Structure 1
Amino acid sequence: MRLLAKFAEMKKQGEKIATMTAYDAPQARAQQAAGIDAILVGDSVGVNILGYASEREVTLADMIHHTAAVRRGAPDTFIYSDLPFATYDTPDQAVKSGLALQKAGANAVKFEGAHAEIVRALIGAGVPVCGHIGYEPQTGERRVHGKTIAEAERLRAEAKTLDEAGVYMLVLELVPAELAGIISKEIKAATIGIGAGPGTDGQVLVFPDVLGYTERNFRHNKRYAEVGSAMESATASYVADVKQGIFPTTSNCAVMPPEVLAQLCKKAG
């Protein structure tokens, strides 16, 4: 609970919460060193790292594997992990899945949708919960949600339902900035925006998007590096060096003592 109180206090003090996805130990290690407030092991690992067509293909075993890797890389950072598609259809199933991710190293779990009974079951089992509404990648349509009065009121009601059920944090994805700001003021839980403007209590982005792994970019993202082009350029240089015999040189390997080499050559005679 002490860890969860940190986010409540940050919201109270108006201190923005910085969080980002990570999928392996090196990514997590870099984020911890940079002072990230929390790391999300997202089911976005499926499309960004594992080559899946969508988040729906990600399994609980995948999430356990990557959660454990992230924990090894960031032993002192708060980690919350996604419950993947079809692993929280019932309260009992959600608890089983949540406990498995907790055992792998997660401090909390996140799932999509306004399912208060799932929240209460997880919390009752000792698994803190982050909610997620707006665009829900596992089942929803990729667009801004909440631009009509009906959708806006539905999202406000969902946020309040999850807040009353006890979520400590709520992700608002692809929600109009004004609506995200209103929701943030109406609930106790800290809100984390992605494509939801500056009025939320914090932000989350996908690490490969931030690093520029691919040419594709999103309006809600800010690229802080171009790692994708750097990886391609480095690989091309390596291939050229190998083909031309430039790499490796003797500086890249061990060499025998001259006297040992002389004896070897004499015997090979």
Structure 2
Amino acid sequence: MSNASTFLDMKRRGEKIVVVTAYDAPTARIEVEAGVDIILVGDSVGVNILGYAHECEVTLADMAHHIAAVRRGARDIYIIGDLPYATYDAPEQAIKNSRILREAGADCVKFEGAQPEIVRALTAAGFDVCCHLGLESQHHDVKRRQGKTAQAAAKLYDDALALDAAGQKFLVLELVPQELAARVTRAISAPTIGIGAGAETDGQVLVVNDLAGVTAREFKHNRRYGAVGAALRDAVGAYARDVRAGLFPAEEHAFHLADDERTAFESLRP
């Protein structure tokens, strides 16, 4: 199994790190077969799978449940799991809740915001920590680009350095200018994982529903690599038409009693 040092070595060699989300065992299995490096079980499970209106509705139990499912489908891959909203407000709370995610199967825990004291506490307790700057879905009601002014960019840059000094193993940069992401990537030791942060981060992450075309909404930072939603809609529609027309199930889909068992059954229940 990979560990955090594997990805630090990849950064040093200039090798890009491939990260994608998963929320269930079958998807995780497919992603491993496809050759991804890291699976992120993100709080995006809330809006993509659970039908919540916002990521802040995701609970610790939700995260543990889906991390465990992903681990069952991907036994050997490195998994990052999100600490959900209001579960890391203090060091002791963060440690307690990170243990739950680790027991579920996470190799690394991720949280949003510039909180070096939380990084230090988790690192001292033996956890790999992934930090997250830029758009913070748990804390920003409106999802828009961050770091658009010089002052805002400088603040994010300084926050990245502080988190690195505290011991982060990864840093996700979401919806920030490419120039800022590039500067941060060069300045810190930890690998940077970008989403809407341009091409100069050490790795990239996308939500699997977005890249596969399950999500209906288009995002500037996303590229659709498939049309899974349309394919599933077509498949279910064809099934519904066949059932209504009496075309499914056909004879080849049926099972039959052996002739002697059928005769015996009919004698028992004439």
Tell me, yes or no, whether TM beats 0.5: yes
Short-chain TM bin: over 0.9
Aligned to 2:78: 78
Instruction: Please state how far the C-alpha of 1:257 moved relative to its aligned partner.
Output: 1.4
Q: Name the counterpart of 1:10.
A: 10
Q: Give the deviation of 1:246 after TM superposition.
A: 0.9
Quick check: 2:2–2:77 contact (8 Å CA) kept in 1?
A: no
Per-residue CA distance 1:41-77 (angstroms, 9 max, x = gap): 0000000000000000000000000000000000010
The amino acid of 1:37's aligned partner reads D
Q: Does 2:188 align with 1:224?
A: no
Deviations 1:135-168, CA, capped at 9 Å, x for gaps: 0000124111111011010000010010000001
Q: What is the CA–CA distance in structure 1 between the aligned matches of 2:2 and 2:161, rounded to whole Å?
A: 23
Decide whether aligned partners of structure 1 residues 71 and 267 sit closer, same or farther in structure 2, where only a CA change above 3 A counts: closer
Could you tell me the percent identity over the aligned residues? 54
- Matched residue SS, 2:3: helix
CA drift of 1:36 comes to 0.9
Deviation of 1:125 (Å) = 1.0
State the partner residue of 1:245: 246
Q: Distance in 2 between matches of 1:116 and 1:263?
A: 76
Q: TM-score under structure 2 normalisation?
A: 0.97
CA separation in 2, counterparts of 1:34 and 1:214?
20
Q: Which residue of 1 aligns with 2:101?
A: 101
Deviation at 1:183, TM superposition (A): 0.7
1:62-211 mapped onto 2 (5 Å cutoff)? 62-140=62-140, 141-211=142-212
Q: Number of aligned residue pairs: give it.
A: 269
Partners in 2 of 1:22 and 1:39 — Cα distance? 6
CA shift, 1:25, in A, is 0.2
Return the alpha-carbon distance in structure 2 between the equivalents of residues 22 and 75 of structure 1: 13
Counterpart residue identity of residue 147, structure 2: G
CA contact (8 A) 2:46 2:54 kept: yes
Deviation for aligned residue 1:266:
4.8
Corresponding letter in the other structure for 1:184: T
Q: Secondary structure at the match of 1:254?
A: coil
| TM-score, normalisation: structure 1 | 0.97
Q: Counterparts of 2:12 and 2:100 in 1: how far apart (Å)? A: 32
State the distance in 2 between where 1:23 and 1:219 align.
Answer: 23
Aligned-CA RMSD value: 1.3
Q: 1:267 to 1:68 in 2, by over 3 A?
A: closer
Structure 2 residue ranges without an equivalent (≥5) = none
- Residue 48 of structure 2 corresponds to 48
Deviation at 1:264, TM superposition (A): 3.3
Shift of 1:251: 1.6
Residue identity opposite 2:266 in structure 1: C
Return the alpha-carbon distance in structure 2 between the equivalents of residues 189 and 164 of structure 1. 10
Task: State whether residues 196 and 222 of structure 2, in contact with CA within 8 Å, keep that contact through their aligned partners in structure 1.
Answer: yes
CA distance in 1, matches of 2:20, 2:2: 21
CA displacement at 1:263 relative to structure 2:
3.8
Task: Report the residue type matching 1:258 in the other structure.
Answer: D
Distance (whole Å) between structure 1 residues aligned to residue 215 and residue 79 of structure 2 = 26
Kindly provide the amino acid, as one letter, of the partner of residue 118 in structure 2: I
